[in-house]
Structure 1
């Protein structure tokens, strides 16, 4: 049977299934939930252990150390688990765990090992605030989600259901700062998506367990390079000197701000600016240097940023408008803008909506209430988007909820660890039945 036809049949079956709430947990599903409650203390201990391992994206040894803790957990469940080296794309690498030979749809489960907190961050350790809250680097984004994946799989294994399933787990080591080229950095994800029928991401979404992501905006980088005529500051604005590079960069950025804001679901952010007489830019390290004096007209300015959009059409339209703005230079300045690689958009397809409905039914049957789709403005780009061109159904945001992600106040909701694990386990079980 051709994969395309098989996928269509799976989508049709699951779409029909989505309309039928079970109204109550089956005995097997209750067994899954009970197992997760029983083993939650051990899951919390694992979460604390991996949060206390620094795995900032550029700390390659730390990223691998987290994988080294998790790989034996997958092997104990019967997975072929390994760490795939990332030197070809300038990162630590990825954890990949495979379980094949079962029945039902092929499911790709997505997590990531890295955080935004490098070894020089002051934020390094797990700290329990109360019985329901804890702080820690990456606790919600997304080491809690990685433990949710494991807990769901452990429950299915304990119930004798896992051995008959087709599951591929990919936990990337560069979600927070992708390696380049993306073709290699995201190959484990795209290869997995080509194999899979369904992709499920365990990011923490918008931090609200009453929501999940069926769409995510794509994200691409841009670099603005501006040059002007260096001169003594007393000569600025004269015909032979012009405005200088910093004024020109400011004009461009302000026009971006005023002229592009009407685009729905679009954001565009300048994240770094360097200007002066001499500028260096280290793209790989996301850093640079500047030298300049107050009495010298700036010769060079570099600005880097990103664009987040809901579709490829929107990206192309915004690129054209930005190029038009850049071309309208102030006197004696020249500017260019380059667009780099990025994350594709995850569109809200019918398949994604059907998968959300199944997940929402699971939540209701657990007594946790309905689950609604996240507004794409409330969630950033994520690895699940790289599956969008290949799978019929995708959902994200099924990880452990929390708040203040990417800051030194990142907090995780400890009560969400068992509740999200139950949802995930029963979702996978119901998908297997169909």
Structure 2
């Protein structure tokens, strides 16, 4: 709690031009502090509720716990069923008190399914570990804590807020256009979007997220004429599937590089035969040293910062694939499960400047934009083309997606205070 005093002193300097009165913002600050233990308890309860993406009942149960928090604040809460995509669904809560609409984005699911050994919240002082504790259950609690503080200060009443918590951020349902249809529509009618994934930190400094790269999958299949290896490279057998695969992947490595672009190869197999499973996660192959490979398969991802970079990279990849070695074939297919980029825009940067105005008034350090090459994709990418968006407003921590995922519980206070003040100011538009 060592930062409370400068926060309170900073707020005494607030002027009349703010979106909310200094008195209201002081109430926000003190309410978040007073309710800190309550929100740690809430975090523990929702972390201990397994909500791996494929645990549909667990995702819905987590949504019901959130519903119980938001309805008493005056939110109209509904559940959007996503059975047609093979997923549990999404929670959407609306509070129309007038003013500009602020869309708050997070997710209920985690990467830890019911068979994971990592299932339990454990606290050690200001540090806690647990499955999905930062990604994104800590972010969900930041949203709830911020809205409760706004209600206590009287600023929620006049605010227009939409909370959209997806149930399949970690493993989206298909078709993706159905899975993200409602989120995209919410973005189109919003004036601002705030995303509550993990806060970006480095060396004790905290950063704002004004950009995220995309995430798209691709599958490359090469074919060759099989036969005795004594004939490899000749006019009859040519080079075989593995040499063609090696040519293409090395071509990607040599010809694609540019800032903020990556293209990982995650799995690869080649031989006679070779095949990939229906989910696209496992490949297997067999062969002998004296047989020219008939088939090779590789799967990977593509991450870009802007739609223009994405189109440029895909076109270049396809051109490289098309330059076949003798007697080989190659087919590149991009998946339909991709996350679009959250490109850096002047509007996003302006939102960070608004957050930094809050930081100044709360006595907190200024936040610089975080390197987008070091952030993963998120649901904010689906709305960023339509609305100014700021990400990374969730809790601080580390080891996301890994056993031992942890958070700094003190950051729950800072992030909730920041969010509550920012939401109110943005909704009032002053």
TM score, norm. by length of structure 1: 0.88
Q: Deviations over 1:211-269 (max 9, x none)?
A: 111122223221111112233556544543333323322222122122212x1111111
State which drifts further: 66-75 or 49-58: 49-58
2:229, 2:91 → 1: CA distance? 55
Match runs of 1:158-169 below 5 Å:
158-169=152-163
Q: Deviations over 1:310-343 (max 9, x none)?
A: 2222112111211121122233321011223322
Q: Corresponding residue for 1:390? A: 386
Please report how far the alpha carbon of residue 30 of structure 1 lies from its aligned counterpart in structure 2 after TM superposition: 1.0
> Partner of 1:134: helix, strand, or coil?
strand
Shift in alpha-carbon separation, 1:297–1:134, aligned structure 2, 3 A: farther
Q: Corresponding residue for 1:217? A: 213
> Partner of 2:341: helix, strand, or coil?
coil
Match runs of 1:270-281 below 5 Å:
270-281=265-276
Q: Deviations over 1:338-363 (max 9, x none)?
A: 22332222222222222111111112
Match runs of 1:177-192 below 5 Å:
177-192=171-186
Q: Corresponding residue for 1:117? A: 112
> Partner of 2:253: helix, strand, or coil?
helix
Please report how far the alpha carbon of residue 103 of structure 1 lies from its aligned counterpart in structure 2 after TM superposition: 2.3
Contact 1:229 1:333 in 2 (8 A): yes
2:110, 2:332 → 1: CA distance? 29
Q: Corresponding residue for 2:126? A: 132
Shift in alpha-carbon separation, 1:416–1:21, aligned structure 2, 3 A: farther
Please report how far the alpha carbon of residue 386 of structure 1 lies from its aligned counterpart in structure 2 after TM superposition: 1.1
Q: Indicate the RMSD between aligned Cα atoms, in angstroms.
A: 2.2
Q: Deviations over 1:157-216 (max 9, x none)?
A: 122221222111111111112222221111121111122111110011534562111122
Please report how far the alpha carbon of residue 94 of structure 1 lies from its aligned counterpart in structure 2 after TM superposition: 0.8
> Partner of 1:224: helix, strand, or coil?
strand
Say whether residues 1:352 and 2:348 are aligned partners: yes
1:63, 1:233 → 2: CA distance? 53
Shift in alpha-carbon separation, 1:137–1:294, aligned structure 2, 3 A: farther
1:62, 1:286 → 2: CA distance? 25
Please report how far the alpha carbon of residue 432 of structure 1 lies from its aligned counterpart in structure 2 after TM superposition: 3.0
Q: Corresponding residue for 1:98? A: 94
Among 363, 367, 391, the residue aligned to 2:363: 367
Q: Corresponding residue for 1:321? A: 316
Among 297, 300, 311, the residue aligned to 1:305: 300
Contact 1:362 1:427 in 2 (8 A): yes
Q: Corresponding residue for 2:288? A: 294
- Size of the alignment, in residue pairs? 410
Say whether residues 1:264 and 2:259 are aligned partners: yes
Among 405, 410, 413, the residue aligned to 2:408: 413
Contact 2:265 2:300 in 1 (8 A): yes
1:170, 1:282 → 2: CA distance? 34
Please report how far the alpha carbon of residue 289 of structure 1 lies from its aligned counterpart in structure 2 after TM superposition: 4.4
1:360, 1:243 → 2: CA distance? 58
1:386, 1:21 → 2: CA distance? 33
1:280, 1:288 → 2: CA distance? 9
Among 142, 145, 157, the residue aligned to 1:148: 142
Please report how far the alpha carbon of residue 25 of structure 1 lies from its aligned counterpart in structure 2 after TM superposition: 8.1
Contact 1:233 1:294 in 2 (8 A): no
2:360, 2:17 → 1: CA distance? 9
Please report how far the alpha carbon of residue 271 of structure 1 lies from its aligned counterpart in structure 2 after TM superposition: 2.0
2:228, 2:116 → 1: CA distance? 40
Q: Corresponding residue for 1:15? A: none
Shift in alpha-carbon separation, 1:232–1:91, aligned structure 2, 3 A: farther
Say whether residues 1:87 and 2:83 are aligned partners: yes
Please report how far the alpha carbon of residue 125 of structure 1 lies from its aligned counterpart in structure 2 after TM superposition: 1.9
Contact 2:92 2:165 in 1 (8 A): yes
Please report how far the alpha carbon of residue 421 of structure 1 lies from its aligned counterpart in structure 2 after TM superposition: 0.5
State which drifts further: 186-195 or 321-330: 321-330
Shift in alpha-carbon separation, 1:345–1:287, aligned structure 2, 3 A: closer
Structure 2 alignment gaps of length 5 or more: 1-15
2:246, 2:127 → 1: CA distance? 43
2:186, 2:134 → 1: CA distance? 24
